């Protein structure tokens, strides 16, 4: 039986029998004094069977972090060398290796999928994994477009699958989560402005067309994206390659959103989380900014196709209904500045500073303050391990994880809007948060989605 036919039958049967069942399961509440997931796994020896789609550095790091709970049974990657290397690192060479990820989804002995592909390859396997009855840990940013996010949220609601997004800053103790507890306790008062400084993308010279390595299926790597030449050149100064493929895909709008969705998915997420904890539940009204690109753009399309093309510098102003403002910028110290009527604080991966933080010495947070903003979920030390512990516990308990698809897409819509504005020269865009569309700008609205290349459409069953 063909892989596509097998997948279609599997997903159709799953939707008939179990759609919504997971959401009806009992939802226990966990607090820090309870056993951690690591302790539970060690005592019960109930390890999780997992399949990995995308065998790069992120996948290797994640599996190494969570290996005390996982058994990797299958790995899919379009680069046979990377797949073989990851197989040794993740399973001692014991996992089955595939080129087509759908063979992983077909396996009934795999409960959980980890997706660590390039950004343009996130949505298709994620949707199909949920329809196949799998829970998923997917790297950020979850989508390449806003419309992909609508589909993901709909399928997650219909299937009840557990999906954790790899925005591990949401599991960083004590910095980011402590900062959110300070916000939730009202220590800053009403927030008036949040600023996310995320740095700009690098530039490159013209990168020549190169022969595709024998170990790489370039057509499948491109997948839903338009057919184009493989490009590669050595960068002796930086000690790595310049390419439109592995890792460097981040600096091409064809496959990613540059820093606006790379680091934006981290720091804009924290800024949006702070607004939500401060009572701001609505999305933005508008966005506009100043932006610089290394290539010329016409109607949102880069005119030079042989070099990195994402924004190198930018300053965006995002307006919210109550007058709150979000700033997304490339300059200043990488991190998130949160300003309120009672004070301000700054947080990044190395520090948490500001008057509200200093005041904790004399007026500490309530004992349960951090647990409350973390949804009462178990807490592990080490941000990556904590994020995986959260996910795997939620798989067991059928509880919404700390980085769910709905809050993630509400935040990521802002990043995508910044990207659309950037590709149109920073022009002002209005945003209808209810309809999730850009009114009054036909060109900008057309950029809410991108066509999938024939043969790589999402298989809905």
Model pLDDT, residue 77: 98
When the pLDDT of each residue in the chain is averaged and rounded to a whole number, the result is 91
- Report the relative pairing of strands 70-76 and 343-347 from DSSP bridges: unpaired
The set of long-range contacts for 207-215, using a CB threshold of 8 Å and a minimum separation of 24, is: 207/231, 207/232, 207/233, 207/242, 207/243, 207/244, 207/306, 207/307, 208/232, 208/233, 208/306, 213/79, 213/81, 215/79, 215/80, 215/81, 215/82
Q: Of 13-27, 53-67, 363-377, 389-403, give the lowest mean pLDDT range.
A: 13-27
Q: What ranges do the domains of the chain cover?
A: 3-170
d(CA 69, CA 347): 31
pLDDT digits (tens, 9 = 90+) for 333-383: 999 999 999 999 999 999 999 999 999 999 999 999 999 999 999 888 778
Percent of the chain with pLDDT over 90: 86
pLDDT digits (tens, 9 = 90+) for 220-265: 999 999 999 999 999 877 778 999 999 999 999 999 999 999 999 9
**Given a cut of 50, is residue 396 above it in pLDDT?**
yes
Range 3-170 has CATH code 3.40.50.720: yes
What residues have CB less than 8 Å from 88, skipping those under 6 apart?
Answer: none
d(CA 333, CA 383): 21
Model pLDDT, residue 45: 58
If we measure between CA atoms, which residue out of 285, 260, 203, 306 comes closest to residue 412? 260
pLDDT digits (tens, 9 = 90+) for 179-218: 999 999 999 999 999 999 999 999 999 999 999 999 999 9
Model pLDDT, residue 383: 83
Residue 39 pLDDT level (bands cut at 50, 70, 90): very low
Inter-residue contact 63 to 72 (CB < 8 Å): yes
Q: Residue 368's Cα: distance from chain center in Å?
A: 28
If we measure between CA atoms, which residue out of 356, 402, 414 comes closest to residue 198? 414
Summarize the confidence of residues 75-81 as an average pLDDT: 98
**Given a cut of 60, is residue 141 above it in pLDDT?**
yes
Q: Of 52-56, 280-284, 339-343, 393-397, give the lowest mean pLDDT range.
A: 280-284
Model pLDDT, residue 380: 81
d(CA 294, CA 310): 7
């Amino acid at each position: 039986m063909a892989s596509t036919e097998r997948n279609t039958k599997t997903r159709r049967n799953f939707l008939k029998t179990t759609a919504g069942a997971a959401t009806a399961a009992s939802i226990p509440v966990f607090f820090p004094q309870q056993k951690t997931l690591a302790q539970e796994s060690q005592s019960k020896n109930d390890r999780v069977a997992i399949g990995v789609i995308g065998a790069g550095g992120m996948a290797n790091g994640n599996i190494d972090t969570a290996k005390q709970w996982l058994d990797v049974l299958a790995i899919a990657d379009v680069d046979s060398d990377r797949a073989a290397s990851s197989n040794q690192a993740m399973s001692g060479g014991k996992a089955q290796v595939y080129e087509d990820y759908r063979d992983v989804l077909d396996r009934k002995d795999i409960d959980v999928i980890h997706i660590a592909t390039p950004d343009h390859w996130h949505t298709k396997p994620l949707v199909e994994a949920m329809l196949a009855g799998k829970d998923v840990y997917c790297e950020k940013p979850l989508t390449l477009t806003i419309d992909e996010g609508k589909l993901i949220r709909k399928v997650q609601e219909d299937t009840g699958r557990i999906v954790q997004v790899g925005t591990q800053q949401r599991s960083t103790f004590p910095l980011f989560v402590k900062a959110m507890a300070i916000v939730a306790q009202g220590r800053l008062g009403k927030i008036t402005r949040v600023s996310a400084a995320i740095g700009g993308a690098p530039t490159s010279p013209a990168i020549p067309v190169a022969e595709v390595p024998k170990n790489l299926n370039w057509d499948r790597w491109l997948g839903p994206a338009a057919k184009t030449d493989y490009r590669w050149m050595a960068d002796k100064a930086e000690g790595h390659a310049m390419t439109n493929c592995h890792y460097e895909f981040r600096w091409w709008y064809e496959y990613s959103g540059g820093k606006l969705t790379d680091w934006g998915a981290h720091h804009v997420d924290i800024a949006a989380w702070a607004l939500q904890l401060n009572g701001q539940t609505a999305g933005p009204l508008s966005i506009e900014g100043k932006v610089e690109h290394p290539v010329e753009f016409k109607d949102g399309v880069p005119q030079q196709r042989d070099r990195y093309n994402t924004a190198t510098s930018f300053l965006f102003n995002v307006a919210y209904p109550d007058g709150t403002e979000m700033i997304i910028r490339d300059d200043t110290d990488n991190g998130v500045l949160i300003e309120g009527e009672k004070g301000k604080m700054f947080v990044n991966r190395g520090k948490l500073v500001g008057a509200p933080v200093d005041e904790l010495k004399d007026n500490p947070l309530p004992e349960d303050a951090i647990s409350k903003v973390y949804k009462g979920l178990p807490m592990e030390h080490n941000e990556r391990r904590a994020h995986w512990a959260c996910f795997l516990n939620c798989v067991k308990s059928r509880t919404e994880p700390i980085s769910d698809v709905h809050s993630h897409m509400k935040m990521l819509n802002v990043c995508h809007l910044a990207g659309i504005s950037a590709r149109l020269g920073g022009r002002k865009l209005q945003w209808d948060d209810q309809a999730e569309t850009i009114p009054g700008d036909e060109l900008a609205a057309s950029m809410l989605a991108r066509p999938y290349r024939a043969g790589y459409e999402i298989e809905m069953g």
